[in-house]
Amino acid sequence: MRGRDPEEEHRAATPLELLFDLTFVVAVAQAAAELHHTLAEGHVGTALAGYASVFFAVWWAWMNFTWFASAYDTDDVPYRLLTLVQMAGVLVLAAGVHDAFVDGDFTAVVVGYVIMRVAMVSQWLRAAAEHPGGRAAALRYAAGIAVVQAGWIARLWTDGAWAWVTFLVLVAAELAVPAWAEYRGRATGWHPGHIAERYGLFTIIVLGEVILAALAAVRSAVTDRGLSGELLMIVVGGLLLVFGLWWIYFTGQDVALPGLRTALGWGYGHYLVFAALAAIGAGLGVALDATEHHAHLSDRGAGLAVAVPVAIVLAALEVLHRLTGTGAVGHPLLVVVGTSAVLALGLAAPALGVGGAVLGMGLAVAATLAAQLITVHRRTAGRAVT
């Protein structure tokens, strides 16, 4: 395990990484489904707190493996077997999503984490033993992961307000480990192009979950009451949202991660992108439930269940694209107008109807994308003339 060359040409995701990602399809689907059902029951506070905590667990497990694999993917027998162990841990974590979301019981989630962390620490210790150049960082990673994992285990015996206080403390500790381990700069040889591709692939996976969640909700609605105009508007609006946000994400030149601060900003910022994208699928399900009068949530609440995550994705992508100098980055006012329009449509759902509000959001995202593309085109043309 000597480390991959960070300047390697044509570096692409491996079949093992793609297989690993498939285990997270289950975990993301579980988190989004629980968010959908809890919002539909009208328990907004419980839904948001549970979803934020559960999705952090899912996202952080994926991110840990992704960055390690970018630096030390030897793809030999020990590496593959330890990855298999991590995949088993992901499935245990996914099985515990319901209890963590509904009852605040993180036992199964922590057990899944223990399984993954034992394998992850083993990978880092192997890297420390076999790659002298990265030994110091690898040992810091192994120590940091082990200590924080011990904290998660100890947290199982906390309750009440202390449970949330310790959760936030441990989240901060998790986020601090990479910065501490690589405090002298790029101590591990992660590949910028490979990282960007891995994040892009996971974005597509999450968008696929949105489509799947919308399909399930549409099938249920059609079975119960047949196709309606409002249902069609939600379907068309949902497709516009998925396609427009996909286009915004994947427009622009290759991502550049010149330093640790930029890399951490890019990596950590995607928590908002991934969590909000998956939440759009849950929101579309709530919107369909509201039109069928199956939700214990007002039309305004159903509209905001879609509008808020869409606005978060637009704002987060604007920041990330500016951070890395990529994407369809136009004038910042365009995103301000776009997010404001989306939120206003969510608030106006009682007057427009939930279907009309969702369709309007899809059109607002499409208009924001078009305005950004036009601005970028004019800017590029102006530079060419100059």
Question: What is the residue whose two structure tokens read 């990265």?
Answer: 134
Retrieve residue 245's tokens: 């946000």
What confidence score (pLDDT) does residue 8 get?
75
What percentage of the chain has pLDDT greater than the value 90? 42
Statement: residue 216 has pLDDT above 90: no
Per mean pLDDT, which range of 20-29, 35-44, 67-76, 189-198 is the poorest?
A: 189-198
What pTM was estimated for this model as a whole?
0.90
> CA 88, 89, 92: angle at the middle one, nearest 5?
90
Give the length of the chain: 386
Q: What is the average pLDDT across 205-232?
A: 76
Instruction: Name the CATH topology of 192-385.
Output: I/LWEQ domain (1.20.1410)
Residue 269 banded pLDDT, cuts 50, 70, 90: very high
What confidence score (pLDDT) does residue 371 get?
85
Q: What is the average pLDDT across 171-177?
A: 94
User: How confident is the model over 38-47, as pLDDT tens digits?
Assistant: 998 888 888 8
What confidence score (pLDDT) does residue 258 get?
67
**Helix pair angle (44-72, 77-95), 10° resolution:** 180
**Nearest Cα to Cα of residue 207 among 231, 243, 160:** 243
Statement: residue 109 has pLDDT above 60: yes
What confidence score (pLDDT) does residue 290 get?
84
Residue 184 banded pLDDT, cuts 50, 70, 90: low
Q: Reduced to 3 states, what is the DSSP secondary structure of residue 68? A: helix
Q: Reduced to 3 states, what is the DSSP secondary structure of residue 2? A: coil
Looking at the chain, list the stretches that DSSP marks H as alpha helix, in order from N- to C-terminal side. 15-40, 44-72, 77-95, 97-103, 107-130, 135-155, 161-181, 192-225, 229-249, 260-291, 299-324, 332-347, 349-352, 354-385
Q: What is the average pLDDT across 230-249?
A: 89
Statement: residue 92 has pLDDT above 90: yes
Residue 254 banded pLDDT, cuts 50, 70, 90: low
Per mean pLDDT, which range of 67-76, 217-226, 239-248, 273-282 is the poorest?
A: 217-226
What are the extents of the domains in the chain? 15-181, 192-385
